[in-house]
Amino acid sequence: MPLDHHLSPEHEELRRTVEAFAREVIAPVIGDYYERHAFPYEVVREMGKLGLFGLPFPEEHGGMGGDFLALCLAIEEVARVDSSLAVTLEAGVGLGAMPILRFGTEEQQKRWLPKLCAGEALAAFGLTEPESGSDAGGLSTTAVRDGDEWVINGTKCFITNSGTDITSLVTVAAVTGRREDGAPIISTIIVPVPTPGLTIAPAYSKVGWSASDTHELSFSDVRVPADHLLGEEGRGYAQFLSVLDEGRVAIAALGTGLAQGCLDESLRYAATRTAFGRPIGNNQAIQFKLADMEMRAHTSRLAWRDAAARMLAGEPFKRQAAIAKLYSSDAAVTNAREATQIHGGYGFMNEYPVARMWRDAKILEIGEGTSEVQRMLIARDLGLPGTF
């Protein structure tokens, strides 16, 4: 399927609106939040008023009636300025609220989605465990049925949006039984926040994404009603695989935004910083770096938009999502390194946005499927021997 790289007038208007919002509202204040490792509640509230958290949701649930492309466009534009808020948006929508829309009952949707779409509440998705990251089939968290309740025990780690003052729920992936061959039966269960027995550990001290919220969660005999099961029992693995496929496209958009933001900052700096009597942008060595940065950001954008277009058309997109995620994360890391080099000593100072971008980039090669996992998925989809 050929990719039409032209956006519709509606999508382009949204992109420009979010671009201006990021530049005028986020950029002036995010550095302070980042240095204090503080969650930017006021900015998140403004993002909610703008409708960003409700972009791909039906109006009946308080959403904007848009689509997945609209969400990814917003994520990219926010990430051009700051990745902490971009991942807050990506995780809050893609991992937190979207599973409820896709797999939840009408009652669950009515209860949770309106505030999530308005940005008045955030939801988290509890998948990763201390001993289970890429090996999602190795979950040890359990949920046992006890009458009309589920009893949950286990630990989750690196969970985004799980400990804010406005976190309303965590959807937990847990083993709810065993099949005849011993394979785990995995289901997903909604756990409201707070719930007795759920302990939210202090926020992690992270290398990057310092203005986003990330915690370890412990479940000790956490009891929730049986109707908090999300979707069918035993379908949890298939549910989170579909969530991760979409999430990789959204993370690719985030990586693209970071790569573009590095270029934006470097172009400004190269035009104003002088050395030996002329702007450093006059030097061919700098020009070649900037040209390569543009190439990476442009190609990354084409990759994630292609994957998103295939998804919206109902076509297979797993390989394209993996390609987009793999390429964009590499582009982000490389552009961040080059932007820091162009800025010289100033690039190592946190007052300059490229320093934040350099710190934020590396996690993109790890989160939502490592670069190694993406290569494995691509090879498997190519039908190579030994990949099944």
Residues marked as catalytic: 368
Is the separation of the CB atoms in 201 and 258 below 8 Å? Answer: no
Reference 197, options 176, 218, 214, 226; nearest CA is 218
The three-state DSSP-derived secondary structure of the chain is CCCCCCCCHHHHHHHHHHHHHHHHHHHHHHHHHHHHCCCCHHHHHHHHHHCHHHCCCCHHHCCCCCCHHHHHHHHHHHHCCCHHHHHHHHHHHHHHHHHHHHHCCHHHHHHHHHHHHHCCCEEEEECCECCECCCHHHCCCEEEEECCEEEEEEEEEEEECCCCCCEEEEEEEEEEEECCCCCEEEEEEEEECCCCCEEECCCCCCCCCCCCCEEEEEEEEEEEEHHHEECCCCCHHHHHHHHHHHHHHHHHHHHHHHHHHHHHHHHHHHHHCEECCEEHHHCHHHHHHHHHHHHHHHHHHHHHHHHHHHHHCCCCCHHHHHHHHHHHHHHHHHHHHHHHHHHHHHHHCCCCHHHHHHHHHHHHHCCCCCHHHHHHHHHHHCCCCCCC
Distance between CA atoms of residues 318 and 377, nearest Å? 8
